[in-house]
Structure 1
Amino acid sequence: MGVSRLDVFYRRLLLTKLFIGGWGKPEDLKRIFEFRKIIGDRERCKTLVPEDYPVYLNKTEELTDCYIHEGYFISPLEHLVPGILPSEAVKARRSSLKNVSDLFVMGGALILESTVLLRWLEREGYWPLGMTGISMGGYMASLAVTNWPKPIPLVPCLSWSTASSVFTTGVLSKAVNWTKLEKQYAVNSLYEQEIIKLLEYCGDDSFKMGSESLKGKDSSDPLLDLSGDLGVPVGQHFRAEGGSGGADRHCFMSSANSSQTHCLSSAADRKKKTFSTQCCRPSLHTESINFMKGVMDECTHMANFSVPVDTSLIIVVQAKEDAYIPRAGVLSLPEIWPECEVRFLRGGHISAYLFKQKVFRQAIYDAFNRFCLKYPTLH
């Protein structure tokens, strides 16, 4: 199935550019990678936030009224259940991420903040608790649930397993400031010489999506031309020993033509070339895209985070023709989270957001009902 024309058209109406500041400092990326190893492991996170960490919310005020209070935005969710969101999410609605690294900082901070909020709600007697969100909000809700040590309903709407496809093959890839990213990648050798060696997630996803996500697309239709220069074709995958977050490392052999071979090997050897750099180095744009895929998968791929305690409480809602969240060539959520349910809507990202809210709400009802039947005394 193709992609939604409305998604493509809507994206073209927006002038916002992503990552105008570049990748982020190499030293910051190194620290983020190390932090990801901790935040991605639920057991290692148990002591990161004290059990009695204070959250300045006043229980005497009704959660059914919208208000901003002491740094948090409280609102009802269509008369279903009270909703609670960090106020930063409200302030950031019209902003964009300055650096690639900002996305990872936001995700890590949200995991810890959600832990604090869920603990506070438990202490105050609210039950049952659940997490939901739309688009990036759905992805962030998923991250939060990977770190929660108890069964909890989760309904991620219009999100998927990794952000790498979003920024490299989805319509948002056209909003990425590739000129800035390519320049930084070329000028600062640390990205190529040191950062790439720290990438531990090297699954099929990053290198398959470039070609597979475009299969079946009508290349004659300029409205659907999302690819740009997505990189060299992908050839054979050679399995190597080891892995991280449950994902195997691989060595990828890709051919620019019949006489040139470029090898990206696992972890420390991924960037080693089998021939001279001058002979077979891909274009700078291609290398920047591959670097983006690797960095995004390292820090955002759900396979790099703990599996939620009870995946049967997860109902994923996706749009079949979503051009913002490509699914081709990446691990599906059911592969990472056994027993989760996926409900597909007809149409794309924008039409689902505008016209399918009823389906989102029904999924939330169903997830909470499922939880209450399965865990009637868990509160």
Structure 2
Amino acid sequence: MSYSSLDQIYRSILLSKYFVKGWGKPDSLKRLFKFRRIISNRDYIYKLIPKDYPITIEKDEVWSDYRVLEGHFRSPFDIHLPNIMPEEVKKAHFQVILPTKWKEENYKPVCLHLAGTGDHYFWKRRNFMCKPLLREAGIGGIILENPFYGSRKPEDQVRSNLHNVSDIFVMGGCLMLESLVLFNWCEQQGLGPLGVTGLSMGGHMASLAATNWPKPIVLVPCLSWSTASGVFTEGVMSGAIPWDVLNYQYFSDDIYREEIRKMVTIIEDDAFKAGQHFIKKYSDKIDNLQNLQPDQQHEKEKSDSNLKSSNGIPASEVLSSKDPGSCPLMAEGDEKKHDSVDLLAKSFAAMSNTIETDTEREKTDAEKEKERLGKDILDSLADSKLQMLTYKVKSSSDQPADVKREVQDYQLRKDFAVHRKSTVSSYLSSDLNQVVGRKLPFSLLGISPAKVRDAEAMQFMRGIMDECTHLKNFSVPVDTSLIIAICATEDGYVPREGVTHLADVWPGAEVRYINTGHVGAYLLHQTAFRQAIKDGFLRAKEKLNMPH
């Protein structure tokens, strides 16, 4: 998928950075992940919010041809997960835009509008979405102020730049529970059918909010997708992340790797798709290896002399041999090297044949520790369920100097390669390269060891974002036929490659596409967003009038 030039240029001229203080407190992340498992269960979380949850209406005015109410309430998130959000965030503020008179007594549609990135206060959504929808289709609107935005912005926060990664999970949890409060309030006021929408980040928050409502609800997520992980790891927004800070914290505190990482739910279908994308990306590089000129081949054989296994077989022979144990990515003929993650798994298995352990003498404690760290890397690979071979470390005094330097590098990073499961994702092979004391030939796949190591924090980001934002981890909305998603074909902010299609997560949902990028869609296609909302409420109205 190609990205819009406008998206890339727009992001490049912005100087703001997100998550400048890092991941957030490890204890907060652990509490958030545990609570995610509660709020993702619709039957359970709905019972946690009383239908008569206390709301204060502080303003009720008539402006020309519409009525405006303003109110606030304590965020239920603060009740169920106390001491995790700043004081300013705890009070939820909202504004309601209603017609002075409804056209039909039994049809009073109201749509909740959630904020996109940078959408502070009420005025944007009121003027660009709520008022036009009220004029064009008689659809009322509720505007909920985003946590960490507007009057809910912490005093030391600059604009929309959240301090910690954990803040965006707090934001999502708040909006899910606060939306339930407002939906219940609407029903008490005799309003309905109900809907929820949002642009960009607001679109994804709207999707999460809809999962917890136990009745049919119109959902129109605009410029979002099935997960937010790609936004921060692949899209143009990834350039606004201080990866040096996140890397430093990730390698400095073992709790991120040893405890929090294990709490992440693996989305296997996405892992499989990421593996396919990985193979396609590097297949051309592998073809180049096969087509080396004689002089290049001589140089390659010369460089391969440092990559011999303990039985003396050069790595180049292991990778290019035609026997059943050879690397499938090098295979010719009918076998398509990019059709399945299985091929990639087998190629890594072949590489493992170059790594053996000296078992003829007694090992020291240090050697045993290195061997332990090398075991069980990649014991499953995405959807194929292929069991990988156990990797062991060759630890002896006759190792090449470059290998010793690499071992020292790992020790400086506090031996972060720990016994854990890995999934195929961007720079999938990072876990393989963490076999302490042995240099794997990742350069043959076009990946430098330094780049692989630096990708560790990015993989952690992808994992925790999927944990808290992937729609597969939440309940399916009651009626998916009321879902109309709007996507931009060249969206540089919300990449869709390598993740589950929205219609696969929610069968029956409609996905519409706009031929532009993220910024272009926001600036030029507000009409398309409003039309989708109107279409969704027409569907809901038809269902209301159907005989039961």
Letter in 1 for 2:525: K
Matched, 1:86 2:237: no
Q: Which of 120, 123, 129 is the matching residue for 2:185?
A: 120
For 1:171, the equivalent position in structure 2 comes to 236
Bigger Rg, structure 1 or 2: 2
Letter in 1 for 2:28: D
SS, match of residue 374 in structure 1: helix
For 1:223, the equivalent position in structure 2 comes to none
C-alpha distance in 2 between matches for 1:255 and 1:211: 15
TM-score, with length taken from structure 1: 0.82
SS, match of residue 46 in structure 1: helix
Letter in 2 for 1:79: P
For 2:464, the equivalent position in structure 1 comes to 295
C-alpha distance in 2 between matches for 1:113 and 1:177: 30
Structure 1 residues 120 and 345: alpha-carbon distance in aligned structure 2, compared to 1, 3 A threshold: same
Structure 1 residues 33 and 313: alpha-carbon distance in aligned structure 2, compared to 1, 3 A threshold: same
Whichever structure has more helix as a proportion of its residues is 2
Structure 1 residues 314 and 275: alpha-carbon distance in aligned structure 2, compared to 1, 3 A threshold: closer
Letter in 1 for 2:39: I
Letter in 1 for 2:420: D
The 5 Å alignment of 1:190-209 reads 190-205=255-270, 208-209=273-274
Q: Which moved more, 1:132-141 or 1:80-89?
A: 80-89
Letter in 1 for 2:94: Y
- Could you give the per-residue CA deviations for residues 85-115 of structure 1, whole angstroms, max 9, x where no partner exists? 2223551593122111111111111110000
C-alpha distance in 2 between matches for 1:107 and 1:309: 20
C-alpha distance in 2 between matches for 1:371 and 1:8: 38
TM-score, with length taken from structure 2: 0.58
Structure 1 residues 353 and 255: alpha-carbon distance in aligned structure 2, compared to 1, 3 A threshold: farther
C-alpha distance in 1 between matches for 2:38 and 2:140: 31
SS, match of residue 72 in structure 1: strand
C-alpha distance in 2 between matches for 1:161 and 1:294: 14
- Could you give the per-residue CA deviations for residues 31-75 of structure 1, whole angstroms, max 9, x where no partner exists? 111111111110111221112111212685459356754422345
The 5 Å alignment of 1:250-269 reads 258=351, 263-265=377-379, 269=420
Structure 1 residues 275 and 10: alpha-carbon distance in aligned structure 2, compared to 1, 3 A threshold: closer
For 1:50, the equivalent position in structure 2 comes to 50
SS, match of residue 79 in structure 1: helix
Q: Which moved more, 1:143-152 or 1:84-93?
A: 84-93
Contact 1:18 1:97 in 2 (8 A): yes
Q: Which of 76, 87, 95 is the matching residue for 1:73?
A: 95
Contact 2:60 2:67 in 1 (8 A): no
What is the aligned-residue identity percentage? 47
For 1:312, the equivalent position in structure 2 comes to 481
Contact 1:207 1:290 in 2 (8 A): no
C-alpha distance in 1 between matches for 2:224 and 2:275: 19
Contact 2:492 2:518 in 1 (8 A): yes
The 5 Å alignment of 1:109-148 reads 109-148=174-213
C-alpha distance in 2 between matches for 1:98 and 1:148: 30
For 2:295, the equivalent position in structure 1 comes to none
Q: Which has the higher contact order (CA 8 A, sep 6+)?
A: 1
**Deviation, structure 1 residue 257:** 11
Letter in 1 for 2:140: P
Letter in 2 for 1:360: F
**Deviation, structure 1 residue 148:** 0.3
Q: CA RMSD in A?
A: 3.4
Contact 2:69 2:95 in 1 (8 A): yes
**Deviation, structure 1 residue 212:** 2.9
SS, match of residue 104 in structure 1: helix
SS, match of residue 133 in structure 1: strand
**Deviation, structure 1 residue 84:** 1.5
Contact 2:265 2:466 in 1 (8 A): no
C-alpha distance in 2 between matches for 1:169 and 1:257: 30
For 1:352, the equivalent position in structure 2 comes to 521
Letter in 2 for 1:301: H
C-alpha distance in 2 between matches for 1:306 and 1:178: 32
**Deviation, structure 1 residue 237:** 4.9
C-alpha distance in 1 between matches for 2:140 and 2:347: 51
- Could you give the per-residue CA deviations for residues 291-314 of structure 1, whole angstroms, max 9, x where no partner exists? 111111111100000000000000
For 2:80, the equivalent position in structure 1 comes to none
Q: Give ranges in structure 1 of 5+ residues lacking alignment.
A: 217-232, 239-250
- Could you give the per-residue CA deviations for residues 104-146 of structure 1, whole angstroms, max 9, x where no partner exists? 1111111100000010011011122110110001111111000
Q: Give ranges in structure 2 of 5+ residues lacking alignment.
A: 73-92, 98-125, 134-138, 282-328, 330-336, 356-373, 383-418, 423-430, 441-448
Letter in 2 for 1:361: R
Contact 1:29 1:101 in 2 (8 A): yes
**Deviation, structure 1 residue 274:** 9.3
For 1:242, the equivalent position in structure 2 comes to none
Contact 1:170 1:326 in 2 (8 A): yes
Whichever structure has more strand as a proportion of its residues is 1
Letter in 2 for 1:158: L
SS, match of residue 342 in structure 1: strand
- Could you give the per-residue CA deviations for residues 170-200 of structure 1, whole angstroms, max 9, x where no partner exists? 0000001101100001110111111111112
For 1:284, the equivalent position in structure 2 comes to 453
Structure 1 residues 96 and 54: alpha-carbon distance in aligned structure 2, compared to 1, 3 A threshold: same
Aligned length: 351
Matched, 1:321 2:467: no
Structure 1 residues 287 and 252: alpha-carbon distance in aligned structure 2, compared to 1, 3 A threshold: farther
Structure 1 residues 211 and 288: alpha-carbon distance in aligned structure 2, compared to 1, 3 A threshold: farther
